[in-house]
A and B are shown apart, each in its own frame.
Chain A
Amino acid sequence: MTTSSPGMVHVKTTINGQAHELLVPPYMSLLDTLRELIGLTGTKEGCLDGNCGACTVSVDGRIVDSCLVLGAEVDGKDVDTVEGMASADGLHPLQQAFLEEAALQCGICTPGFLVAAKGLLDNEPSPSEGRIRHWLAGNLCRCTGYDKIIRAVQKASS
């Protein structure tokens, strides 16, 4: 790291159910911690200022923009990313619905939308269209016009 940077921060965290022990530079975002230190590049960089939602992950069940959280902040916390959604039983219903409803075009926003939508459905299994649109308003998609994303979340709900 840079010569001027202060010492590393010792972080013990759980990522997608797996324990990790890391030395994280104090300035490093959770996004870069995941992408550069752990190698989980499913979480995407879109803007680095918390406005596009491409880097959405879950920290202790709460949806955050990982570009606005420091890696050092997840010490003792559970982090869940898109890579943790599928299981040995297969895809998460949201992942399957996104495929079936053609809810992705370029796909760069998709991991963020999936993690955000999971955060909604985990707590509210049958949200209305308006509720889904409100919940996902922090995730930008420029390809789809949102129609098929909303339909996919509706399909995966209930």
Chain B
Amino acid sequence: MVATYDTKTDYKVVGKSPIRHDGLDKVTGRAVYGGDVKVPGLIWGDVIRSPHAHARIKSIDTSAAESMDGVFAVLTHADFPVADEREISAGEDVVNLKRDQANVMADDKVHYTGHVVAAVAAIDRNTAQEAANKIKVEYDVLTNVSDVDTAMAEDAPIILESLVGDHLGEDVPNTNIAKVFRHEFGDLEQAFDRSDLVIERTFSLSMIHQGYIEPHNATAVWAEDGNITVWSSTQGSFGVRAQTAGMIGVPESRVKVNYVEIGGGFGGKTKVYLAPIAALLSRKSGGRPVKLVMERTAVFEATGPAPGGKIRMKIGVTKEGKVTAADTDLIFESGGYPGSAVGAAAICVFACYNWPASRITGYDVLVNKPKSAAYRAPGSPQASFAIESVVDEICEEMGFDRIQFRLDNAAREGTRRGDGVQFPRVGLEECLIATRDSDHWNSPLGDAPAGKARGRGIATAYWMNGGGKSTCDLMLQDDGTVMMNEGSADIGGTRASIAMQAAEVLGIPAEDVHPSIPDTDSIGFTGVTGGSRTTYATGLAAYNAAHKLVDELKDRLANLWETEVDKIDFADGMFSSDGQTIGIQELAGRLDPTGGPVTSTASVNPSSAGAAYGVHICDLEVDLATGKTDVIRYTAVQDVGKAVHPQYAEGQIQGGAVQGIGWALNEEYFLTDDGAMANKSFLDYRMPTSLDMPMIDTIMVEVPNPLHPYGVRGVGEVPICPPLSAVVQAIHGATGKRYYDLPVKPGRILEATNGN
């Protein structure tokens, strides 16, 4: 059953922007991140990685490393227990324990350059590195499968021999295509036939990285009694527990994951890479705590990426400006093991429009590149780039107004998504109207200086957001403040947005709720911070826990006031009955005779969340001589449901937009012919810097989500989606050329314009 709410409007706490509870520790350097963990007796681990993109491991000689002074243990895949093929959820990713174990440390084959082959534990970091370099690995180098075309060719080298592909329900062995699936409805052929214009284009995208500034890290102790303690930068401690336990062959209850602050994740810190290695090294080192911190080059080479691939997109419209039909092939690189974001891309690709007929075919394709991971609205940015590029071309060809066309065809309550799901109340139309009425859209683009040209692009996108399991505990103190435990990793201010929802119910200031994020032994199960679920689902747990606390206090007060519970009212922090009143703070100090401390706990598992839509406008300037692009004005419009903490909601939108701008303009995995990443440093990967960006303006539209008492929708994911097309359509506006391959870097612009 789905609970729906009449949305509250008279807020006391929600909608304000208090200083986040963990802010002080983070501006003073006191906050403890994974890399800062100190445990008595700590030793260091390091790994060696494959220099080949595709190779069979012939032998591993660890003797020189083992005999080095200061080395405690050496680890290869042979030290891992045999994992089963069980699949477990890791938030936005599904983890296949056997395959992900092989991804953590290669079994008989390496599947990408940078794949871990062996590990050591030693007295310090330098010794560990020196020892790791003494491990000798002999490889049988195989042909490198570099892109989806090569991977899908008849005679392609097979990357994962044990894979049986699922091709539209049929089992297919000896393939690099892990999955082919399809969603379709309506009479596609007939719908295209009655179109006045049909445009079909093919797009290509490179893999790109999440680019979190903190490298992956893990520290683990495998104690003599078999209990294992882990510290690891992660979006979800329970995911680390499940994956680590599964890969090292112990029950989850034997693994405790301590919460540490996380230095960015964006989806890329839901899978584990180092924790199982740290745990096994600790056991082999006699229970010494072992710490590993990944090098930046390895973060690029062996973690993350969002899938690249190809998208074929065909759209029909009538001359009156109504969409008729849409057909797409989404061909995504999963990397060295199966499992890309193509499933989510298929859900999102057509979700901004109301189609009479559509067909979506998804392909999950292995290539010799790092195993792809979730990246902020996984799959939707790529999908949005393709569909919005074709929509822009149609509008230009037919002379349609770019906003009116989208309004005339907008998905609304009752519209069916491409995979059949019917929309509840959504806010796309409201976003489009806010965009049309915005100062940005109504301001002239202005003249470019000599040698430059300006353009304005617009694009929309959709993300479904997430629900799932969350837990929150509240403990009322004698002074009326409330201690709060909640299980969500705080990646960008969610301690505050969750605490604020409890404070709103209790009628106390946000500062009087003190949030903590405990270890996995000390809080009920809570899923990853991802999917855009945390402020929604863990916030809902906090809301429910606060109501339970109020109910318990009413029971106690009924005893003190010698009245019936249902005769006591509670509003704005005050209890009242028959002319008597008492504030929650005062009552808190008088609870001893009523039965002592008052605490509450609530767990939730909402199956659906409120979807999010965004519409972005980008103005930019292209230097026609060099092809360099400068974004000069940017506005992101988004339905946030209800902005619990408007500053941090806006921050999510701004940050997502800039990641999308980087994706559009210059981020890519630049691979050599041998399949090695040539740009595996921040300098060469070149994410946007402060100098590259203007201020990012936001317009937050609030169409309340009926599934949340305060109308909250996930905010963090959708803003990365529209920029890819908004930026590229602006470059089209500036140069008059169409671009179908990302990134649209200076070379591509010069190629298209011939310097004109």
Contact = CB atoms under 8 A, between A and B. Distances in A.
Interface string A113-153: 01000000000000000001110111111111111111100
A137 B657 CA distance: 18
A55 B339 CA distance: 35
B632 to A, nearest CB: 13
Given A42-B29, A47-B682, A106 B491 contact: yes
A32 B654 CA distance: 33
B691 A145 contact: no
A102 B261 CA distance: 17
A13 interface: no
Interface string B208-247: 0011111100000000000000000000000000000000
Given A140-B687, A144-B655, 6 more contacts: A2-B123, A35-B36, A105-B648, A106-B264, A143-B264, A145-B693
B263 interface: yes
Interface stretch (B17-25, B396-404, B480-488, B746-754): B17-25
B213 A54 contact: yes
Nearest to B649: A102
Contacts of A140: 211, 213, 682, 687, 689
27 contacts: A2-B124, A2-B127, A39-B38, A42-B28, A44-B35, A46-B682, A48-B295, A49-B296, A49-B683, A52-B296, A83-B30, A99-B19, A99-B20, A99-B23, A99-B24, A102-B650, A104-B26, A105-B493, A105-B655, A106-B492, A109-B213, A140-B213, A142-B211, A145-B655, A148-B647, A148-B651, A149-B690
B600 interface: no
- Interface residues on chain B, size class: 35 or more
Interface string A31-51: 010010001111111111101
B53 interface: no
B130 interface: yes
Interface of B: 17, 19-20, 22-24, 26-33, 35-36, 38, 69-70, 123-127, 130, 210-215, 261-266, 293, 295-296, 491-493, 647-648, 650-652, 654-659, 681-683, 687-691, 693, 695-696
A47 B31 contact: no
B29 A40 contact: yes
Interface residues of A, number: 63
Given A46-B213, A85-B28, A145-B657, A133 B691 contact: yes
B681 A51 contact: yes
A136 B126 contact: no
Interface string A93-111: 0010011111011111111
Contact of B27 (A5, A108, A114, A150): A114
A141 B35 CA distance: 18
A67 B654 CA distance: 29
Contacts, number: 198
A2 B647 contact: no
Given A1-B124, A47-B681, A140-B213, A102 B651 contact: yes
A52 B690 contact: no
Given A54-B213, A108-B213, A83 B493 contact: no
B409 to A, nearest CB: 30
A55 B732 CA distance: 39
Contacts of A111: 29
A158 interface: no
Contact of A99 (B27, B123, B130): B27
B655 A143 contact: yes
Contacts of A4: 130
B439 to A, nearest CB: 17
A66 interface: no
A58 interface: no
Given A42-B29, A107-B26, A146-B658, A137 B689 contact: yes
Contacts of B647: 101-102, 148
A45 B27 contact: no
B528 to A, nearest CB: 15
Contacts of B691: 133-134, 136-137
Given A2-B127, A27-B126, A102-B648, A145 B654 contact: yes
A86 interface: yes
A81 interface: yes
Contacts of B683: 49, 51
A44 to B, nearest CB: 7
Contact of A147 (B27, B35, B682, B695): B695
A44 B213 CA distance: 9
Nearest to A4: B130
A8 interface: no
Closest 10 CB pairs of A and B: A42-B29, A108-B263, A145-B658, A107-B26, A105-B492, A51-B682, A102-B647, A41-B36, A145-B654, A47-B296
A136 B690 contact: yes
Nearest to A138: B689
Nearest to A134: B691
A18 interface: no
A150 B688 CA distance: 14
Nearest to A81: B29
Q: Which one of A99, A140, A142 has the greatest number of beta carbons of chain B within 10 Å?
A: A142
